[in-house]
């Protein structure tokens, strides 16, 4: 009896160990596919409509895709402005109230007509010289690489903006609920 | 011996498989209750005190609750202003430095006395016409639905604000440590 | 045969249960070390260069460390300004467009020369009176406690800033990819 138990026990234990390893591995894989998606996910709320606010979400999202992650941008409130036809080309950099610009100027100058345009021109010149992608270029990369680009339905209703006023190649407009459900399974969620 | 092993092995294996399935399920449930809470959680730092900065946190938090999630808002720095008695009714929309407003105006006009008031009036009119909830209405929904509303204790000390100056129905003031401990188990954390 | 099975079964079952418990515990520990790090992690993008934008990331990161968490700050766009030699001592508080300051003033006054300096002086005076740590003091605490301080390489290239222009004690400059990989395993990610 002792002999049977020991011998059976040893053989069975090995098989049981292998079985447990496999089961645990499967259960964890299933759990994380359910909860987290197969790959890490980046979810960003884009709530502002300036040149300097458009860059970080587009750079982070396209970089995330390059790293094998999923990424979605939810354009809401003033962020929706970025999606309007022609807006990506004409976003403005606002030096006002930003003492950390490369060329800081007193606010009394920043408010003068033309100063935002001048600062935008100089910022864009720097971007071009440094061969950094422009916002329209980043949008092209984002669309081609599969970044989800979600206009906020509530903002469209609030501001009276039609789907036809927005650029092509976007995903269907969604609400905060859809974004939150997506973000709940994201590894990284940001509000810009 | 061979026969005993096979027959025993088969029966045992089935029982063992069932046992493993149950054990793994239990362990994972315990792990995620410990780490993540029973439901997904949204944690937002509210750091600004304008009308346009008050909307996203309140809309996201009340939407999260409607989706069956937990939600907490931590009002810190200028965000604490929103919690002052009478503030929710009189938050101002600041067009200055925001070229993405529905009615953009040059900064040289935006700084003129009355322009913030005018922009706020027009923004609020739009909100009302579109039947979007006002900030006081969103606070009522937030309180009734169980959104945690945390004033930041350090900001109160710094700005010399007493508990009695804040609106009723808030949770007890907390510090950054309490917020971080809560957010560490959140599915979504945002800084607005 | 029945007897053998029952008795063997009972003994084996106990050993198998113990084995499963241990295996599941190990697998979960390994899984979370792989995915989440041994301790909760806080990852913050610092994108703005004002006094009021520098405080929250430094307070949250040093508080996180005090709670036994890991923390990293990624200084990008105007946030990189904070890392320049002498900048931490001279960050400015911008009252313009911020109606929620303790001492709100009309924008027409806020743009006047000296108003940002005056507001900064008054803000710093309050901070000192309330014995709140200054930005340079928070940097010292952050460095000593092991907060990762990452300058953004792309911003340095874009703005033509050399490593030697930044304060000592920083980590090596990194790109968005490094930050995202770090943040993907963080419990809390924020964009300030």
Neighbours of chain C (3+ CB pairs under 8 A): A, B
Using the Cβ of A147 and the Cβ atoms of chain C, whether some distance falls under 8 Å is answered with no
ipTM confidence: 0.75
B65-102 per-position pLDDT tens digit: 999 999 999 999 999 999 999 988 877 776 666 666 65
Whether residue A2 has pLDDT greater than 70:
no
Question: Buried b vs exposed e over A55-87: b needs ≥16 C-beta within 10 Å?
Answer: bbbbbbbbbbbebebbbbbbbbbbbbbbbbeeb
Give the closest-approach CA distance of C70 to chain A in angstroms.
16
Using the Cβ of B178 and the Cβ atoms of chain A, whether some distance falls under 8 Å is answered with no
Of B8, B110, B192, the CB nearest to A8: B8
Of C44, C55, C67, the CB nearest to B181: C67
B35 or C18: which carries more pLDDT confidence?
C18
Whether residue B1 has pLDDT greater than 50:
no
By percentage, how much of chain C surpasses pLDDT 90?
49
Whether residue A1 has pLDDT greater than 50:
no
A4-26 per-position pLDDT tens digit: 556 666 776 677 777 777 777 77
Alpha helices in chain A (DSSP H): 2-36, 51-66, 87-90, 107-110, 115-129, 135-145, 153-159, 176-183
CB < 8 Å from C in window 7-26 of A: 8-9, 12-13, 16-17, 20-21, 24-25
Q: Do C191 and C42 contact (CB within 8 A), yes or no?
A: no
Residue of A nearest to C110 (CA): A107
Using the Cβ of A134 and the Cβ atoms of chain C, whether some distance falls under 8 Å is answered with no
Using the Cβ of B59 and the Cβ atoms of chain A, whether some distance falls under 8 Å is answered with yes
Instruction: Enumerate residues 6+ apart whose C-beta is below 8 A from B152.
Output: B74, B75, B76, B77, B79, B80, B173, B174, B175, B176, B179
B118-148 per-position pLDDT tens digit: 667 766 777 777 778 889 999 999 999 999 9
Whether residue B26 has pLDDT greater than 90:
no
Question: pLDDT band at A100, cuts 50/70/90?
Answer: low
Query: What pLDDT was estimated at residue A173?
Result: 97
Q: Do B62 and B138 contact (CB within 8 A), yes or no?
A: yes
Query: What pLDDT was estimated at residue B89?
Result: 82
Query: What pLDDT was estimated at residue C96?
Result: 61
Q: Is A99 within 8 Å of C4 when comparing Cβ atoms?
A: no
Of C110, C177, C191, the CB nearest to A192: C191
Question: What is the strand order of the sheet C70-75 is part of?
Answer: C148-151, C70-75, C41-46, C188-191
Using the Cβ of A106 and the Cβ atoms of chain B, whether some distance falls under 8 Å is answered with no
By percentage, how much of chain B surpasses pLDDT 90?
49
Q: Is A191 within 8 Å of B187 when comparing Cβ atoms?
A: no
Chain A residue numbers with beta carbons less than 8 Å from the beta carbon of C111 are 107-108, 110-111
Of C8, C23, C176, the CB nearest to A5: C8
Q: Is A116 within 8 Å of B107 when comparing Cβ atoms?
A: yes
Question: What are B147's two structure tokens?
Answer: 């959104």
Whether residue C132 has pLDDT greater than 70:
yes
A102 or A133: which carries more pLDDT confidence?
A133
C70: β partners: C41
Residue of B nearest to A113 (CA): B108
By percentage, how much of chain B surpasses pLDDT 70?
73
Query: What pLDDT was estimated at residue A37?
Result: 47
Cα B9 to Cα B16: distance, rounded to the nearest angstrom: 10
What single DSSP character describes residue B166? B
Q: How far is CA B4 from CA A11, B17, B46, C5, C16, in A?
A: 13, 19, 68, 9, 19
Cα C93 to Cα C33: distance, rounded to the nearest angstrom: 41
Whether residue C155 has pLDDT greater than 60:
yes
Q: Is B184 within 8 Å of C188 when comparing Cβ atoms?
A: yes
Query: What pLDDT was estimated at residue A91?
Result: 79
To test the contact with chain C by mutation, choose from B88, B180, B186 the residue with the greatest count of C C-beta atoms within 10 A, namely B180
B29 or B65: which carries more pLDDT confidence?
B65
A117-175 per-position pLDDT tens digit: 666 766 677 777 777 888 999 999 999 999 999 999 999 998 889 999 999 999 999 99
Using the Cβ of B36 and the Cβ atoms of chain C, whether some distance falls under 8 Å is answered with no
C159-185 per-position pLDDT tens digit: 889 999 999 999 999 999 999 999 999
For C90, how many CA atoms within 13 A lie in the half-sphere containing its CB? 7
Question: To 10 degrees, what angle do helices A2-36 and B2-36 make?
Answer: 40
Instruction: Enumerate residues 6+ apart whose C-beta is below 8 A from C174.
Output: C74, C150, C151, C152, C153
What single DSSP character describes residue A173? P
Whether residue B35 has pLDDT greater than 50:
no
CB < 8 Å from A in window 64-103 of C: 76-79, 81-82, 91-92, 94, 96-97
Query: What pLDDT was estimated at residue A133?
Result: 85
Whether residue B104 has pLDDT greater than 70:
no
Query: What pLDDT was estimated at residue C18?
Result: 79
């Amino acid at each position: 009896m002792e002999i049977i138990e020991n011998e059976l026990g040893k053989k069975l234990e090995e098989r049981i160990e292998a079985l447990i390893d496999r089961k645990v591995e499967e259960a964890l894989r299933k759990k994380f596919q359910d909860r987290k998606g197969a790959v890490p996910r980046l979810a960003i709320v884009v709530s502002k409509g300036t040149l300097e606010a458009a860059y970080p979400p587009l750079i982070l999202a396209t970089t995330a895709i390059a790293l094998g992650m999923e990424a979605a941008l939810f354009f809401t409130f003033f962020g929706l402005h970025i999606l309007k036809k022609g807006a990506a080309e004409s976003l403005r950099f606002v030096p006002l109230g930003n003492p950390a610009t490369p060329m800081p100027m007193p606010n009394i100058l920043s408010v003068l007509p033309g100063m935002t345009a001048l600062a935008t021109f100089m910022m864009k010149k720097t971007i071009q010289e440094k061969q950094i992608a422009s916002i329209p270029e980043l949008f092209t990369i984002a669309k081609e690489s599969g970044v989800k680009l979600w206009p906020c339905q509530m903002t469209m209703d609030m501001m009276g903006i039609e789907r036809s006023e927005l650029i092509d190649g976007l995903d269907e407009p969604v609400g905060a609920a859809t974004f939150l459900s997506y973000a709940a399974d994201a590894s990284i969620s940001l509000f810009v």
